[in-house]
A and B are shown apart, each in its own frame.
Chain A
Amino acid sequence: MKRKEFLAGAVGSFVEEPQTSASKKKTVNEFANKTLPAVQRTTSGIEPYTGVWGNDQVLHLLRRTTFGAAKSDLDTLKALTMSSAVDLLLTVPATAPDPPVNNYNDRYADPTVAAGQTWVNAVHGDGTVNSLRIASFKSWWYGLMINQSLSIVEKMTLFWHNHFSTETGIVSDARYVYKYNSLLRQNALGNFKDLTTKITTDPAMLVYLNGRYNTKTAPDENYGRELQELFTSGKGPNSQYTEADVKAAAHVLTGWKDDPTNIASTFDSTRHDPTDKQFSAYYNNTVITGRTGSTAGQLELNDLMSMIFAQPEVSKFICRKLYRWFVYYVIDQNAEDNVITPLAQMFRDTNYDIKQVLSVLLKSAHFYDSANVGCVIKNPIDFTAGFIRQFSLPFPDSSAYVAQYTLWGAVQNLAAAMELNLGDPPNVAGWPAYYQIPEYYELWINSDSLPKRKSYTDMLNTNGYQTTVNGTKYKIVIDPIAFANQFSTPGDPNQLIADMAQFLLPIQLSDNEKTTMKNALLSGQASDYYWTNAWNDYIATPTDVNKKNIVFTRLQSVLSYMLDISEFQLA
């Protein structure tokens, strides 16, 4: 059994392990974990963190809760207390983002939506229009991530997408996809039970897991199974729901279907099984009373949710998943006892309030425990969007929405090539990096993806990404001088390198690495003041091409090294 593979102190392998047939690894990596690593056990728990609140801690919080932070984000949170900083991140933006628009009219005219107008409420249109809208959606979503406010909402939206996974390729209605995505975003910090209830009858989900074909004459168990296996109870050893429970849940959910005209879901009582549904001992032999009429579906769904959420396993399952998203993939015995267990209790006590659980986790001594710093491998969105945010790379604004979507889409495609295709996880279990024992995050890095990551940063640090849209040229490229100039004393080579490294890398560099970077900045000169003079000369006359070039090329060289080393893959 896999559960016997774990090493002393690690209990990670006895938690959920999705059994979906398609959850096979894409690329075999000879170096990835063969067993869960025998890392040192932590001792900290959910008690509030009371230690230093410095750049390291602020950046740790930002790395884990956002898709990368600009220097200004660091400054903003640094000025707050740790608790206020977390509260700020947990604040939901007051207004929902503007919906995606028709950016594709130049390529294929949408018969019902004008260029620049949103298509989310339009008629379905033909297959070409729909696929262009899905591309529009993906670009738009990626744009929300790189333009995220100082809030955890986007990171949680992706968390829920990874949790309640659907695939645009299967849903194949861009309007449903948008609606589903909006549901996740609106409820990202809300109530988990509500969200689960709503997702159950979400039209995209009804299509994706065949809920729309689930009728009393031909029950379809697909959703009833994943609801329990992947969305709520999980497959942990204490999750004892039975095959009969899967069947019973399917019967409860008969009668729901999607409505493409109204971009909604509807309940058809004639397709609903009105008989009582008997559940197993795991659910205390609950009987959900069969109902008839137009309210039957919602009433039985509510009963089903109350029954499922009465099981403590649900809260533990989600807390472990949050832990693997925000902290680390190995859940040692201490973490199970002093983080997961009390968090799960609180989750139940607050009737599944997501925000409160996150607040406790992100303010905990365990979260800031140095053992948990720098041990997450960035996923492709963290990596690509994070890079854009760290270097404040300028994208076109909405007045040039065609170019804007083109560039968002270009980077989103690069992230997809690095194996995270927004909107299209490999299957209903989400991305294996968050559940596949024992590799977990290490699945992100392989002989195909790592060179792609490196060529991405190299491109944006040197030649830049260039494209021409409607005759206007756009170029996305790092400005190493502006980047360096954000730090306190860019004229001091030691301080500058230390500041840049602290900002970009979560762990300390080796002496060799520091020496190499300093030599790059100083062109091998032994005296620091040569850099200081060069920097001051540039600052005094920033228009002097020669002086600018001297500092530009050296900073570019240092960045090139810093972005290439393996530490940059960590968060």
Chain B
Amino acid sequence: MKRRDFITRAVPFSVLPFALGGFSLKAYANSSLLEKLVNAATDTDRVLVLIQLNGGNDGLNMVIPLDQYSALSNARANILIDQAKVLTLTNATGLHPAMTGLQGLYNNGELAVVQSVGYPTPNFSHFRATDIWLTGADSNQVLTTGWMGRYLNEEFAGFPVNYPSTTMPDPLAIQIGSVVSPGLQGNAASMGMAIPNPQYFNYLVTGTPDPVPVGTPDRAAHELTFIRQVAQQTQTYAGVVKAAATKAKNLSTLYPAAGKNSLADQLRIVALLVAGGLKTRIYVVNLGGFDTHAQQVAATGGTETGNHATLLQKLSDAIAAFQDDLKLLAIDQRVVGMTFSEFGRRIKSNASFGTDHGAAAPLFLFGKGVKGGIVGTNPVIPPNATVNDNIAMQYDFRSVYASVLKDWFGVAQTELDTVLKTPQFPSVNTLPLISSVADVEQSNNVPTGFTLYQNYPNPFNPTTQIKFISDGSYVQLKVYDVVGREVRSLVDGQLSAGDHEVTFYADRLPSGVYYYRLQSGNKVITKKMQLLK
């Protein structure tokens, strides 16, 4: 199991249930208290930024399979990018000429391209396909929760009851640029807070109400302004968002001027909030307009210009500026981003210099923690593609989600299955997309000089070794079963500062999950282990 060593707060065990501010005993009804406590959120400071490209992005003109160029010429001559202008990534694969920023990231090893991501039996309706991507459903399955919502539900059980809490004072997720994404819908509530537009963010940060539209009768305007002030004051997370936003400053000079690139405007807010110390795990932003049935490229002036070029440039510029900002703010090791669109577009272009709805498409992951490169092979384009031909799927989109959850957030397989397993995606597998894979042993909140390591071996039968570092004071190391009963006391006394190791011999105990808990004064670390007989 993954690191669930959240208990670093200082409380005597006997009062644990009351001491975790905001948690109430009631929340743990029907379930073992300790299990719930250990299942509380994984300790991570990592952030995922999801960039939704609304409309269905033409992947073939974004990540161009140069080795398929002649077939592409047959299929989409009127929109095909001049081979000489393609930004080369490898001999066989290149980027749209507008994406110099992303080419730079690629060259730095900070961009992963995942080829031909999709799902079986693709749907060509924007709404349905969007819902599939956001919920993680099969093509023929209706899910009412989002994939990110389910993940956050696993991590923050019971949300929003008793949130914000001392351990999670911040929004679990923030949606910028629209109402909260269905992807953040949890079992009982939406797990996200919406910042519908950058202006709203500015009002929030400056503590001024959204101005009343011109022409509103002044009596109504007076009352509306009053209510908006109270609304802003009582927005659950207004205080923490405001505090974070005022704590940091964007440092990159690469951001386009405000209002010029809506994605950049959203991402700079993300950088600010991450740098400002919000513990928020997921940010969702979006860029619309990818539904390029007509005038995807300019009719005159070169196929590398036009609406799609403008959009890709915005995407590339925004990500490059954001990544630059993260570096300057020294938080680039904490953030990965991912793009997606509800579908790709048709191989064969239409006569309006555009493309119709398609199927699988490439997507990007970016960030310092990403394993740079291209995952998968170029799609194979039929030599004489017809309107019925589509890009076949190489990777299920849920494999990409799983990679982020497992390798970036350190989500255990059982949880991955809960979040992502479906009838048509029965085996939740991952792709090698993350370089700095979440470390099971590592915990950011472990007090210096006081550490508890994962036991080894694990699972075990019947003995396992538990290593820890004592800070030189009185130490207790005890083992509990899943209902919180103490089954063994391994250490109970004054130890010298430094490394220690004890053997846990579990011959008379039944198979199952056990917790071992190290306490020294008011410092506590708990870990999980499994006895398999």
Q: Find A508's partner among B52, B125, B196, B213 (CB 8 Å cutoff).
A: B213
Residues of B within 8 A of A37 (CB): 219, 222
Mark out the residues of chain A between 521 and 554 whose CB falls within 8 Å of any chain B CB in the assembled complex.
523-527, 530, 533-534, 545-546, 549-550, 553-554
Interface size of A in residues (CB-CB distance below 8 Å): 61
Contact A373 B230 (CB under 8 A): no
Contact B286 A445 (CB under 8 A): no
A14-37 to B contact mask, C-beta < 8 Å, 1/0: 000000000000000111110001
A417-456 to B contact mask, C-beta < 8 Å, 1/0: 0000000000000000000000001100111001100000
Residues of B within 8 A of A491 (CB): none
- Beta-carbon nearest neighbor of B127 in chain A: A550
- The reply to whether the CB of B310 lies closer than 8 angstroms to some CB of chain A is no
Contact A31 B127 (CB under 8 A): no
Q: Find B224's partner among A512, A550, A570 (CB 8 Å cutoff).
A: A570
A553 to B286, CA, bound (A): 19
- Beta-carbon nearest neighbor of A537 in chain B: B125
Contact B142 A549 (CB under 8 A): yes
Interface size class of B (residues with CB under 8 A): 35 or more
A507-519 to B contact mask, C-beta < 8 Å, 1/0: 1111110011101
Residues of A within 8 A of B178 (CB): 516, 519-520, 524
Q: A371-B219, A375-B223 are in contact. Are A451 and B52 (CB under 8 A)?
A: no
- The reply to whether the CB of B227 lies closer than 8 angstroms to some CB of chain A is yes
Residues of A within 8 A of B197 (CB): 512, 515-516
Q: A450-B230, A553-B182 are in contact. Are A526 and B131 (CB under 8 A)?
A: no
Residues of A within 8 A of B55 (CB): 524-526
Q: Find B216's partner among A507, A524, A545, A553 (CB 8 Å cutoff).
A: A507
Contact A31 B217 (CB under 8 A): no
Identify the stretch in A206-214, A393-401, A559-567 within 8 Å (CB) of chain B at 4 or more residues: A559-567
Chain A's nearest CB lies how many Å from the CB of B125?
Answer: 7
Q: A375-B219, A523-B126, A530-B126 are in contact. Are A31 and B289 (CB under 8 A)?
A: no
Contact B291 A31 (CB under 8 A): no
Residues of A within 8 A of B127 (CB): 523, 525, 530, 534, 550, 554
Contact A570 B223 (CB under 8 A): yes
Contact B291 A545 (CB under 8 A): no
Q: Find A450's partner among B131, B199, B219, B227 (CB 8 Å cutoff).
A: B227
Chain B's nearest CB lies how many Å from the CB of A401?
Answer: 31
- The reply to whether the CB of A506 lies closer than 8 angstroms to some CB of chain B is yes
Residues of A within 8 A of B223 (CB): 374-377, 441-442, 570
Q: Find B189's partner among A33, A462, A553, A569 (CB 8 Å cutoff).
A: A462
A450-475 to B contact mask, C-beta < 8 Å, 1/0: 11000000000011000000000000
- The reply to whether the CB of A557 lies closer than 8 angstroms to some CB of chain B is yes
A558 to B196, CA, bound (A): 12
- The reply to whether the CB of A109 lies closer than 8 angstroms to some CB of chain B is no
Q: Find A516's partner among B125, B179, B212 (CB 8 Å cutoff).
A: B179
Which 8 A-B residue pairs are closest in the complex by CB-CB distance? A524-B54, A375-B219, A374-B220, A566-B227, A31-B229, A510-B213, A520-B179, A524-B288
Known: A39-B219, A451-B236, A569-B227. 19 other contacts (CB 8 A): A29-B230, A31-B226, A370-B217, A371-B218, A376-B223, A462-B189, A463-B188, A507-B220, A507-B224, A516-B179, A519-B179, A520-B179, A524-B178, A525-B291, A545-B142, A550-B131, A553-B131, A567-B224, A570-B224
List residues of chain B with CB under 8 Å of any chain A CB: 52, 54-55, 125-128, 130-131, 142, 144, 178-180, 182, 188-189, 196-197, 199-200, 210-213, 215-220, 222-224, 226-231, 233-234, 236, 286, 288-289, 291
List residues of chain A with CB under 8 Å of any chain B CB: 29-33, 37, 39-40, 328, 330, 370-377, 441-442, 445-447, 450-451, 462-463, 506-512, 515-517, 519-520, 523-527, 530, 533-534, 545-546, 549-550, 553-554, 557-558, 560-561, 566-567, 569-570
What are 16 residue pairs bridging A and B, where the CB atoms are less than 8 Å apart in the complex? A32-B226, A374-B224, A375-B220, A450-B230, A510-B210, A515-B197, A519-B178, A524-B288, A525-B54, A525-B288, A526-B288, A526-B291, A546-B142, A550-B125, A558-B179, A566-B228
